[in-house]
Structure 1
Amino acid sequence: MTDAMGAAPVTKTPWHLWVVGVVSLLWNAFGAFDFVMTTTRGEAYMREMGFSQAMIDYYLAMPAWMWGPWILGVWGAVIGSILLLLRNRLAAPAFGLSLLGAIISLIYGQFINPPPLTPEMAMMSYMPWVIVVIAALLAWYAWTMGNKGVLR
């Protein structure tokens, strides 16, 4: 539907978009921080995070092809969060790419080459699932807001 001037009507931004946008940006900013620290400081950062030597060796031996899903997952989510706050319709595809990266990472880390988890790091086995669920919810939310005309 258009107004008398032929322009599409402006949809009021719901309050929850700002909450979801800010919370998702904070969540995804930690993922970006972790990515940058892992790629720039490597073993020293992982040791500070409490990783065992076996876990450090596991991550340092990550196959080169896994960089693609990791980059998609992390930076797609950050860009999606920013686009959501800007009410840009490209937030949904950005979150979709992030979800794809998270799913590929989950499949690799859970089924193809699981990490050597110690009892102290057992929680790490759940994090890929949590990340995929959050990525799916963010993609769904952005898609829904786009369909409602909130995102331009």
Structure 2
Amino acid sequence: MTEVRKTPVHLWIVGVVSLLWNAVGAFDYTMTKMQNPEYLAAFTPEQQAWFAGFPLWANIGWALGVWGSVLGSLLLLARSRHAVSAFAVSLVGLAISCIYQFGLHYGDLMRLFGTFPMIFTAIIWVILIALFVYARKQAAVGALR
């Protein structure tokens, strides 16, 4: 068992910044799934149909990616070692979502949205992998219980 030590300041900073970052994803997911007309007004009808047309397994992947990251951030702030597992679940969800969007429907995605989804998803991957590695490191050094 690792010894629990004083919380480093960087853990609070990373926890708060990651929670804010992931709250944006949670907001996007919630507004899209609730079909909020004001939020979806930024998208063309064809783009809105794209989101509405996700099969169940792709929606599950999207949900795991979003809510796993939110939970991971909250668990980081709670100093729980389970943040590692939450970020791992989020990585699995992101992979599932990417299989649907980029693996099976890349042409449609590019036609509807251009290169933005590819660039933004790459940024999400980098941040999520960094959060997973960070949480593992903090668990290993005893900053998480």
Superposed CA RMSD: 2.1
Instruction: State the 4+ residue runs in structure 1 displaced beyond 3 angstroms.
Output: 115-122
CA contact (8 A) 2:62 2:97 kept: yes
User: Any conservation in 2 of the 1:54–1:116 contact (CA below 8 Å)?
Assistant: no
Question: Hey, what does 1:135 align to over in structure 2?
Answer: 128
Which residue pairs with 1:52 in the alignment? 44
Q: CA offset at residue 10 of structure 1?
A: 3.5
Q: 96-105 or 115-124: which moved more?
A: 115-124
Q: How does 1:1-152 map to 2 (within 5 A)?
A: 9-42=3-36, 44-47=38-41, 50-114=42-106, 115-117=108-110, 121-152=114-145
- Larger relative contact order, structure 1 or 2 (CA cutoff 8 Å, min sep 6): 2
CA offset at residue 119 of structure 1?
8.3
Structure-2 change in CA distance of 1:57 and 1:10 (3 Å)? closer
Is the 1:73–1:101 Cα contact (8 Å) retained in structure 2? yes
Indicate the percent of aligned positions where both proteins have the same amino acid: 42
Deviation at 1:120, TM superposition (A): 6.9
Unaligned runs of 5+ in 2: none
How many equivalent pairs are there? 144
Instruction: Give the whole-Å Cα distance in 1 for the aligned partners of 2:99 and 2:19.
Output: 25
Change (3 A) 1:43 1:128: farther
User: How much has 1:116 moved relative to structure 2?
Assistant: 3.6
Q: Deviations over 1:74-95 (max 9, x none)?
A: 1111111000001001000001
The amino acid of 2:59's aligned partner reads W
CA distance in 1, matches of 2:67, 2:113: 29
Q: Are the aligned partners of 2:15 and 2:77 in contact in 1 as well (CA < 8 Å)?
A: yes
| TM-score of the pair, normalised by structure 2 | 0.88
Structure with higher helix content: 2
Which amino acid letter does the alignment assign opposite residue 92 of structure 2?
L
Q: CA–CA distance in 1 between the matches of 2:37 and 2:56?
A: 17
Pairwise CA distance, 1:125: 2.6
Give 3-state SS (helix, strand or coil) of 1:144's partner: helix
